Amino acid sequence: MMVVGAAGNASLAAVVPVLTGDAFNAMLKPTPDTSVLLPLALTIGISQIIRGVLQLGRNFGAELLAQHMERQVRDELYLSLLGKSMTFHNLQPVGDTMARSTNDVRELNYMFSPGLNLVVGSFIFILMPIFVAGRYHPTLVITPIVFTILYFVFLTRYLKTLSPITDEVRATFGQMNTHLSESLDGVEVVKGAAQENAEVDKFVMNASRFRDAFVRQGDLEGRYVAMLLLGSAYAFGLFHALLLFRSGQLNLGDVVAYFGLLLLLQFPTFVSTFAYSQISSGMSGARRILELINRETNLDQNAQGRAETMKGEVEFRNVSFDYALTSYPLGSGIARPSSALPVGRSAQDEGIQDAVLQNISFKVKPGQTVAIVGQTGAGKTSLVKLINRTYDTTNGQVLIDGVDTRDWNLASLRSQISMIEQDVFLFTRSVSDNIAFGKPGATQSEIEAAAKSAQADDFIQTFDKGYETVVGERGVTLSGGQRQRIALGRAFLTDPHILILDDSTSAIDSATEDKIQRAISNAARGRTTFIITHRLSQIRWADLIIVLRKGKIAAIGAHDELMKTSDAYAKIFRE
Could you give the residue range(s) of every CATH 3.40.50.300 domain in the chain? Answer: 306-329+354-416+496-575, 424-495
Could you give the residue range(s) of every CATH 1.20.1560.10 domain in the chain? Answer: 2-294
| CATH level 3 topology of 306-329+354-416+496-575 | Rossmann fold (3.40.50)
How many other C-beta atoms can be found within 10 angstroms of the C-beta atom of residue 267? Answer: 19
CATH number attached to the domain at 424-495: 3.40.50.300
b/e per residue, 381-399, with b = 16+ CB within 10 A? bbbbbbbbbbbbbbbbbbb
Contacts of 493 (CB under 8 A, 6+ apart): 435, 436, 438, 439, 442, 446, 447, 450
Distances (CA, A) of 191 to 185, 202, 453: 12, 15, 38
Kindly give the confidence (pLDDT) of every residue in the chain, 575 residues in length, as a single tens digit, with 9 standing for 90 and above: 788 888 898 899 999 999 999 999 888 888 888 888 899 999 999 999 999 999 999 999 999 999 999 999 999 999 888 878 777 777 788 889 999 999 999 999 999 999 899 899 889 999 999 999 999 999 999 999 999 999 999 999 999 999 999 999 999 999 999 888 888 878 878 888 888 898 899 999 999 999 999 999 989 888 888 888 999 999 999 999 999 999 999 999 999 999 999 999 999 998 887 888 999 999 999 999 999 888 866 566 777 888 889 999 999 999 999 876 654 333 333 333 333 443 344 444 444 445 789 999 999 999 999 999 988 888 998 999 999 988 888 899 999 999 999 899 988 898 899 888 877 888 888 999 999 988 888 899 999 998 988 888 989 999 989 999 998 777 777 887 788 888 888 888 888 899 998 876 655 566 666 666 766 776 677 789 999 887 777 787 788 999 998 899 999 998 888 888 888 787 776 66
Tell me if residue 341 falls in helix, strand or coil: coil
CATH number attached to the domain at 2-294: 1.20.1560.10
**Three-state secondary structure string covering 159-212:** HHHHHHHHHHHHHHHHHHHHHHHHHHHCHHHHHHCCCHHHHHHHHHHHHHHHHH
Strands 369-374 and 314-321: unpaired
For the chain, helix, strand, coil in percent to 5 are: 60, 10, 25
